Each structure stands twice: as structure tokens, then as C-alpha cells.
Amino acid sequence: MRVFKVRSFSRFARGEGINDRRLAEAIVHAESGTVDANLGAGLVKLRIARLSRL
């Protein structure tokens, strides 16, 4: 599986406190088939919980 992290998402993830370790865990889930939606052509949607803000 090829995984891409585009610049705009990288900025968003950094702002939301989503680090590369959490993204790697999400990739493991995607590889196991635990996804929110299969969009076709090898593209999947997977939700990652944001850290709560104070």
C-alpha cells in the first residue's frame, strides 16, 4: 500500500495534534480493512479522533 501525506493535510494534522504515530496506527487499521468508507480505486476514508481542546 502506498500512503501519501499532502502538505495541506500535514498542516491540518499538526494543528490538531495528530502526530505521525497516530497516522501510522490509522494506516494499520486501513490495511486490516477497518475503514469508514472504501471510495474505490484503492482510496479509503478513515476517521481519526482529534485531541480535545481546552
pLDDT at 17: 86
Grid coordinates belonging to 41: 480505486
Q: What is the pLDDT along the chain (54 residues), one digit of tens a residue?
A: 778 899 999 999 888 888 899 999 988 988 888 888 888 887 888 888 777 655
pLDDT at 10: 94
pLDDT at 30: 83
* Reported pTM: 0.66
pLDDT at 3: 83
Q: What single-letter amino acid sits at 10?
A: S
pLDDT at 53: 59
Helix/strand/coil for 22? helix
Indicate the pairing of strand 43-45 with strand 37-40: antiparallel
